[in-house]
Structure 1
Amino acid sequence: MNYQNQKINFYQKRTSGENISATFDFLKGNWRPILRLCLYILLPFSIIQGVVMNNVTSAAVDAAVHPPLTFTSLEGISPSVLINYILMAIFYMVGQSVLTAIVYTVMQKYHNSEKLEKYPLSDIKDDFISFIKQCFILMFYIMIISAGYFFVVGSLAYLFPLLLIAIIPGTIFLIIPLTLIFPAYIFGEGIGANKALKQAFRLGVSTWGSLFLLIIVLGIISGIIRTVTSLPWSIVLVTKSVLGSLNTHVAVSNSVLMDFGMYILATIEVFGTYLAGIFIFTGAAFHYFSALEAKDSVSVNDDIDNFEQL
Structure 2
Amino acid sequence: MQRQKIELYAERTFSRKLSDTFDFLSENGKVLFKFLAYLLLPVSAVQALGMNFYAGDVISIIDNINATDHADFIMHAIIGYAILMLSIMTGAVLSSSLVYGLVRLYGKRQERLQGITMSEMRPVLLTNIWRTVKMGIVIAIIMTMVITLLAVAAVGLGEVAGLGNGAAVLTVFIGIIAVFACGIPLALTLPIYLIEDDSTLWESLTKAFRLGFKTWGGIFGVLFVIGFIVQFIQGVSTMPLYIMLIFKGVLLSSDGAATMVTSPAYTFGMYLFGVVQAFGMYVGYTIIYVATAILYGHAAEKTDGVSVERDVDNFEQMGDDNDDDMALFDSPKP
Q: TM-score, structure 1 length as denominator?
A: 0.91
CA contact (8 A) 2:131 2:194 kept: yes
Aligned to 1:36: 34
1:251 is paired with a residue of what secondary structure?
Answer: helix
CA contact (8 A) 1:4 1:29 kept: no
CA contact (8 A) 1:94 1:136 kept: no
2:260 is paired with a residue of what secondary structure?
Answer: coil
1:57-95 deviations in whole A, cap 9, x for unaligned?
22222333333666xx35554443333323322211110
Aligned to 1:111: 107
Q: Which moved more, 1:215-224 or 1:167-176?
A: 167-176
Aligned to 2:328: none
Q: Distance in 2 between matches of 1:64 and 1:155?
A: 37
1:164 aligns with 2:172: yes
- 143 and 98 in structure 1: CA distance in 2 versus 1, 3 angstrom threshold: same
1:146 is paired with a residue of what secondary structure?
Answer: helix
CA contact (8 A) 1:68 1:74 kept: no
Q: Distance in 2 between matches of 1:12 and 1:115?
A: 20
Q: Distance in 2 between matches of 1:4 and 1:153?
A: 53
Question: Which residues of 2 match residues 1-310 of structure 1 at below 5 A?
Answer: 4-67=2-65, 73=69, 76-115=72-111, 118-121=114-117, 122-159=119-156, 160-248=168-256, 250-309=258-317, 310=319
With CA pairs under 8 Å and 6+ residues apart, which has the higher RCO, 1 or 2?
A: 1
Largest Rg, 1 or 2? 2
Structure 2 stretches of 5 or more lacking a match? 157-167, 320-334
- 227 and 117 in structure 1: CA distance in 2 versus 1, 3 angstrom threshold: closer
Q: Distance in 2 between matches of 1:55 and 1:250?
A: 17
Across the aligned residues of Structure 1 and Structure 2, the Cα RMSD in angstroms comes to 2.0
**% identical equivalent positions:** 29
Q: CA deviation at 1:43?
A: 0.6
1:252 is paired with a residue of what secondary structure?
Answer: helix
CA contact (8 A) 2:251 2:257 kept: no
CA contact (8 A) 1:105 1:127 kept: yes
1:247-293 deviations in whole A, cap 9, x for unaligned?
44641111111000000000000000000111110000110011011
Q: Which moved more, 1:228-237 or 1:297-306?
A: 297-306
